[in-house]
């Protein structure tokens, strides 16, 4: 009885060790490539919003805890520099009130507080309706480039249905409303003086 339990245990042990060995082997051989892929994708995404930076933008990134979109969150900030002078920030932040939960956004703002553009990184909006915020599906989100807090004015920073200037999609108002509101709030936060200097 004891013998057979030990035998079964030993067998299980041998299989575990061998399996772990192969998984670990694959992991070590693919690690570099996976890291490379992640970085390439990020650089591609950042590159859609900003060009002409000369720094290693991934190495210069930092995180900041702040109160944004009515929640406490940690945002990731990528500073774009040319000749060692920052000319724009790319901010990865979360807007919690999409139609279906969190929307992860990447927003580029230059040092004159003008928008370089907005891109959606991840979302759970309704396929076919709310997902027109993806660049794959429509150009809607590209309209933010060049806008700022005063262009259009505060009253117009809304979807058309709420009396603003931004189109909403047929059957989906909440999603575009979320993006517009998220973009405006971030712009507002960035316009505050010394906001980035008190790093913490």
Partner 1 sequence: MEDYIKIAKNGLWSNNQALVALLGLCPLLAVTNNIVNAIGLGIATTFVLVASNVTISIFRNQIRKEVRIPIFVLLIASFVTIVELLMQSYFYELYLILGIFVPLIVTNCAILGRAEAFASKNTWGKSLLDGLMMGVGFSVVLIVLGAMRELIGSGTLFDQSALLLGSLGDTLSVNVFEDYQGTLLAILPPGAFIGLGLIVALKNFIDLRKS
Contacts to partner 1 by CB under 8 A: 4, 7-9, 11-12, 15-16, 19-20, 22-23, 26-27, 30, 33-34, 37-38, 41, 126-129
What are the tokens at 17? 């060790």
Q: Which is closer to partner 1, CB of 140 or CB of 190?
A: 140
Q: Tell me which residue has tokens 């299989």.
A: 15
Q: What's the closest the beta carbon of residue 173 comes to partner 1, in angstroms?
A: 16
Q: What's the closest the beta carbon of residue 2 comes to partner 1, in angstroms?
A: 14
User: The dihedral of CA 142, 46, 177, 157: what is its sign?
Assistant: negative
- H runs (alpha helix) in 51-158: none
Q: What's the order of all strands across the beta sheet hosting 62-68?
A: 62-68, 71-82, 85-98, 101-110, 115-122
Contact by Cβ (8 Å): 76, 91:
yes
Q: Which is closer to partner 1, CB of 45 or CB of 81?
A: 45
- H runs (alpha helix) in the chain: 2-49, 174-191
Q: What's the closest the beta carbon of residue 16 comes to partner 1, in angstroms?
A: 6
Q: Which is closer to partner 1, CB of 111 or CB of 126?
A: 126
Q: What's the closest the beta carbon of residue 33 comes to partner 1, in angstroms?
A: 4
Q: Which is closer to partner 1, CB of 84 or CB of 170?
A: 170
């Amino acid at each position: 009885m004891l013998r057979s339990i030990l035998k079964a245990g030993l067998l299980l042990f041998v299989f575990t060790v061998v399996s772990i060995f192969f998984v670990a082997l694959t992991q070590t051989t693919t690690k570099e490539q996976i890291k490379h892929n992640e970085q390439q994708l990020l650089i591609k995404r950042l590159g859609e919003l900003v060009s002409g930076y000369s720094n290693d933008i991934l190495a210069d990134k930092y995180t900041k805890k702040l109160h944004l979109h009515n929640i406490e969150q940690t945002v990731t900030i990528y500073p774009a520099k040319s000749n060692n002078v920052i000319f724009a920030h790319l901010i990865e932040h979360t807007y919690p009130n999409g139609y279906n939960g969190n929307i992860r956004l990447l927003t580029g703002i230059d040092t004159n507080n003008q928008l370089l553009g907005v891109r959606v990184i991840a979302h759970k909006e309704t396929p076919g309706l709310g997902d027109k915020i993806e660049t794959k599906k429509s150009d809607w989100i590209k309209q933010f480039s060049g806008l700022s807090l005063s262009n259009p004015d505060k009253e117009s920073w809304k979807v058309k249905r709420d009396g603003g200037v931004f189109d909403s999609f047929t059957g989906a108002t909440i999603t575009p409303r979320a993006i517009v509101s998220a973009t405006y709030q971030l712009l507002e936060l960035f316009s505050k003086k010394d906001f980035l200097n008190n790093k913490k």
